[in-house]
Copies of this chain bind each other. A is one copy, B any other.
Amino acid sequence: MRRGRTTIQDVAQQAGVSVATVSKVINARYGVAAATAAKVQAVIEELGYESSLVARSLRSHRTGVIGILVAELEPFTAELLKGAGRAVEGSGYELMVYAAGGPGIERVGWERRNLSRLGGTLIDGAILVAPTVVTPDDTIPLVAVDPHRGRSGLPMVNSDNRAGGRAATEHLLALGHRRIGFLAGRPDLESAEQREAGYRDALAAHGIPVDPALIEVGGYEQERAERAARALLTLPDRPTAVFAANDRSAIETLEIARTLGISVPGELSVVGFDNIPESVMCHPPLTTVDQFIQHMGFDAVELLLRMLAGKTPEQTHLTRPTTLVVRQSSGTAPGRRAPRPAKVAAARSRTTATVARAARA
């Protein structure tokens, strides 16, 4: 046995041919005698040789690999990957997920950095998840999922965040809440901005002025979100409900409420956004806005695949609808004695069923 990996050199030597010939056999190029090809093939099998993706891509600039670039491997990303995974099946492409290394290090610009590191070589196209800035790089086809604010011109997949934000807030209003706090997300993301717009829409529609004291920025970061939630819940005249811009923040709000001895949904209603699996497993299960993350992952890959095939897709901006999923973290506003309306209960089972179906789709 040799040390290190088996290289094309080893195969060539063992087969008694040149490296070039082996390469031709591997890539099924013309100009190789059947007998030679067979012999080389046999040696390849024997040695268990597999050509190095790295060396190959450095040279040929075509790898059959799609990159998914994310800042962090957290629930949202994980859901997205499930959808992406299904979309590549049978496409001939493989998936490479590159995680920038946690939430810590220099969020801004990670996608450009990693794109430079991988693009042009290694991956034929990439999906950028919640990118901070994107200099439309013309090296390889790109698709953005849940992108930052402002037109980037990049093909993208997102959801109707504004309608989702509105639905969440309307739900709380329907339950009699009037002081509804908003736990804002990453200010640079269009989605976060739109969810806030939806929140404002709903309040405006009901003639309720927005109270700036009830808006805190959580930024989708654990500590910051916790601080923001605590600020909201320790207000002299605290809100009776909080709409958080994503499920993680909402779950953190649930946590803070628990430490403060505030019962949910008795004294406080909480609504999130995303419908990550964790939103079902927390206590109480979270009312949230489903944005069908798996579908987004699926769509993004499909779009990219089409671009890689050279077809210019007619639709380069895919926006998915969202659905409110009512669970146990939201209830009638304190002081109101309206019983939980029957239609809410009905909505609950329906939407939950939807989720289950989406998970398998």
A117 in contact with B53 (CB, 8 Å): yes
A113 in contact with B73 (CB, 8 Å): no
B89 in contact with A5 (CB, 8 Å): no
A54 in contact with B118 (CB, 8 Å): yes
Contacts of A278 in B (CB 8 A): 277, 359-360
Nearest B residue (CB) for A54: B121
Interface centre among A55, A112, A139, by most B CB within 10 Å?
A55
Is A88 part of the contact surface with B, judged by Cβ < 8 Å?
Answer: yes
Interface centre among A98, A121, A281, by most B CB within 10 Å?
A281
- The answer for the CA separation of A98 and B6 in the assembled complex, in Å, is 20
Contacts of A283 in B (CB 8 A): 352-353, 356
Given that A5-B116, A277-B281 are known contacts, is A81 also in contact with B85, CB under 8 Å in the complex? no
- The answer for the CA separation of A58 and B55 in the assembled complex, in Å, is 7
Among the 9-residue stretches A99-107, A157-165, A183-191, A309-317, the one with 4 or more Cβ atoms under 8 Å from chain B is A99-107
Among the 9-residue stretches A12-20, A43-51, A212-220, A328-336, the one with 4 or more Cβ atoms under 8 Å from chain B is A43-51
- Contact digits for A53-88, partner B, Cβ 8 Å, 1 yes 0 no: 111011000000000000011110111011011101
Shortest distance between the CB of A278 and any CB in chain B (Å): 5
Contacts of A98 in B (CB 8 A): 94-97
Shortest distance between the CB of A121 and any CB in chain B (Å): 4
Is A122 part of the contact surface with B, judged by Cβ < 8 Å?
Answer: yes
B117 in contact with A102 (CB, 8 Å): no
- Copy number in the complex reads 2
Is A355 part of the contact surface with B, judged by Cβ < 8 Å?
Answer: yes
Is A141 part of the contact surface with B, judged by Cβ < 8 Å?
Answer: no
Is A120 part of the contact surface with B, judged by Cβ < 8 Å?
Answer: yes
- The answer for the CA separation of A75 and B113 in the assembled complex, in Å, is 29
Interface residues of A in 314-354 (CB under 8 A from B): 352-353
A94 in contact with B88 (CB, 8 Å): no
- The answer for the CA separation of A53 and B57 in the assembled complex, in Å, is 11
- The answer for the CA separation of A355 and B281 in the assembled complex, in Å, is 7
B96 in contact with A48 (CB, 8 Å): no
Given that A89-B102, A120-B52, A121-B54 are known contacts, is A96 also in contact with B96, CB under 8 Å in the complex? yes
Interface centre among A49, A93, A121, by most B CB within 10 Å?
A121
Interface residues of A in 215-247 (CB under 8 A from B): none
- The answer for the CA separation of A15 and B251 in the assembled complex, in Å, is 51
- Contact digits for A1-40, partner B, Cβ 8 Å, 1 yes 0 no: 0011110000000000000000000000000000000000
Given that A50-B113, A53-B122, A280-B281 are known contacts, is A94 also in contact with B85, CB under 8 Å in the complex? no
5 A-B contact pairs sorted by A residue (CB < 8 Å): A52-B121, A73-B82, A73-B85, A96-B98, A283-B353
A49-B116, A55-B58 given; 5 more Cβ-contact pairs under 8 Å: A50-B116, A74-B85, A96-B97, A97-B98, A280-B281
